[in-house]
Amino acid sequence: MIFKSINPFTQAVIAEHEILTNAQLNQKLELAAIAFKSWRTTSFQERADKMQKFASILRANKAELGLLITNEMGKILTEGIAEVEKSAGNCEFYAENAEKMLKDEHYDTPFKSLSVYDPLGAVFAIMPWNYPFWQVLRYAAPAIMAGNVTLLKHAPNVIGCAKAIENAFLEAGFPEGVFQQINIDIPQVESVIAADIVHGITLTGSEMAGSSVAALAGKHIKKSVMELGGSDAFIILNDADIEKAATVATQSRMLNAGQACICAKRFIVTEKVAEEFSTLFAQKVHALQQGNPLLEGIHMGPLARLDLSEKLDSQLDKALQQGAKLLVGGAREGCNFQPTLIDFVDANNIAFQEETFGPLATIVRAKDENDAITIANNHRYGLAAAIWTEDRDKAYHLARRIEAGNVFVNSLVRSDSRIPFGGTKKSGYGRELSEIGIKEFMNMKSLIIE
C-alpha cells in the first residue's frame, strides 16, 4: 500500500510513499526507545547547538523547501518560504530558552522542596497538511529540546515535507531515532499509542480525528494535547477602524487559501457599520487573484485536495439555500476555489455552524456589542477570536467574556512562539508554544528533602 503526493494545482502525482509494515513500525519504535536512553542525558547546550544548526539548514534551503510545500499542498510560494522561516525561528527560540524554561522550581517550606522536569520518552504526533513544517516544528522543537524523542505521522499528501524535516534533523547531527517520520495507516495508530516508549500524543486536526485519538490516549493512559477545529469570530464594533479591519479581515480569512484552524471565519459586525464593512470587505476580496501558486501576482493557490474543494462547494450551496447572500466569488474548478464572501448569515446557517476550511468568509450582523459577544460564544468551537474597537479598555473587558483560547484586539490572529496557543470547548485542550508548551510532555517531579 502507498500514499500518493499529488500537486493540487496540476493534479500530477509527485511521488509515491510506501506504508510501513507492522514489523518495520516495530523497528522504528525500538529505535526511538534506544535513542531516548542517550538523548535524555545530553546537556541543554548540546541540544541547543544541534537545534541551532537545524534552524540554519532550514534557512539555507528555504527556497527549495518552500517550493516543496507549494507543490505538495498548494500554498503560494512566498507563503511556503515564510512558513519555513517561521519554523526556523521557533527552533531558535527553544534552543535559546529551553534550559531557562525547565529550571528547577523551589518552594518556601521549612524543609528543602523543589520540582524538577524530566522528559517522558517518545511524543507521538499526528499532524495535518495545511502548515506541513510549522505544525510539526512547533511541537517537535520544544519536545526534543526537553530531552524527549518524537515519532511523526504526517498527513499522507505531505510525506515529502515530513522526509525533508527528518533529513534536516539528521544533517544537523541529531542521533537516529530522535526524530522519525513514520508512514503508517489509521489502523496502525493505536499500536503506536500503546507502545511503552510513547508517553505523549499530540494531534492537530479535525474534531472527529481528535475525538478518536483522544479516546485511544485515554484508553492507554497517555498524556495528550489536542488542537482541533476552529470557527474564529472577528468582531467589528461601531468605533472600529473599518478600513483597517476590512484589510486585516481579508488577510485573516484568505491566507493559505483559508485553510487554517486559527483564522477568522465568522465576521460579526454591529448593524451601524455593517454596510460599510461589507462593502469594503467585498472590494478587497474581489481584488484577490487565485491561480497557479508559482506565479507572481497570485494571492492564493488551490485547495490542497479535491475532496476539500468539493466539501466547501457543498457548504456554500447549502448556505445560500439557507438564506445567505453571495457578494463575491463562489466559482470552483477542481481544487481552485474563488475567494468568496457571503452576507446575512444567521446562527442556523451551515456556514455558521460548521467549520469552513477554505476561502469562504461569512458576515453575521449583530445588534450591538453585547449581541456580538453572544453570537461569538454561540458555537461549539473556541480556538481564537479578534475584536476591533478604538476603545482598548472596552476591548479588554469584552475579550475576557469571549470563550476562546486566544483573543486579539485590532490585530491579525496568529500563533507566536512566545505566547501559549490552544483552544477550549470542541477546539481541544492543552497548550503549545511558550514555556507552557515545552512543559506539556514533561514529568514535573517534586523533591522533598528533610
Per-residue pLDDT tens digits of the chain, which is 450 residues long: 799 999 999 999 999 999 999 999 999 999 999 999 999 999 999 999 999 999 999 999 999 999 999 999 999 999 999 999 999 999 999 999 999 999 999 999 999 999 999 999 999 999 999 999 999 999 999 999 999 999 999 999 999 999 999 999 999 999 999 999 999 999 999 999 999 999 999 999 999 999 999 999 999 999 999 999 999 999 999 999 999 999 999 999 999 999 999 999 999 999 999 999 999 999 999 999 999 999 999 999 999 999 999 999 999 999 999 999 999 999 999 999 999 999 999 999 999 999 999 999 999 999 999 999 999 999 999 999 999 999 999 999 999 999 999 999 999 999 999 999 999 999 999 999 999 999 999 999 999 999
Structure confidence at residue 316 (pLDDT): 98
Instruction: Please identify which of the residues 91, 161, 261, 263 carries the catalytic annotation.
Output: 261
In angstroms, rounded to a whole number, what is the distance separating the alpha carbons of residues 396 and 423?
19
Structure confidence at residue 289 (pLDDT): 97
In angstroms, rounded to a whole number, what is the distance separating the alpha carbons of residues 143 and 182?
17
For this structure, is 354 an active site residue?
Answer: no
In angstroms, rounded to a whole number, what is the distance separating the alpha carbons of residues 68 and 81?
10
Helices (H), 40-76: 44-60, 62-73
Contact criterion met (CB below 8 Å) for 13 and 4: yes
Direct distance between the N- and C-terminal alpha carbons of the chain, in angstroms, rounded to an integer? 59
Contact criterion met (CB below 8 Å) for 268 and 372: yes
Residue 166's H or E segment, with its range, is helix 159-171
Instruction: Please identify which of the residues 227, 355, 369, 440 carries the catalytic annotation.
Output: 227
Structure confidence at residue 1 (pLDDT): 78
Tell me, rounded to whole angstroms, the distance of Cα 131 from its chain centroid.
Answer: 7
Paired strand residues for 36 = none
* Nearest Cα to Cα of residue 75 among 382, 375, 294: 294
**Collapsed DSSP state (helix, strand, coil) of residue 26:** helix
Structure confidence at residue 223 (pLDDT): 98
For this structure, is 227 an active site residue?
Answer: yes
- Cell numbers of 387, please? 475584536
Structure confidence at residue 413 (pLDDT): 92
Q: For CA atoms 290, 293, 299, 304, give the dihedral sign.
A: positive
Contact criterion met (CB below 8 Å) for 83 and 61: no
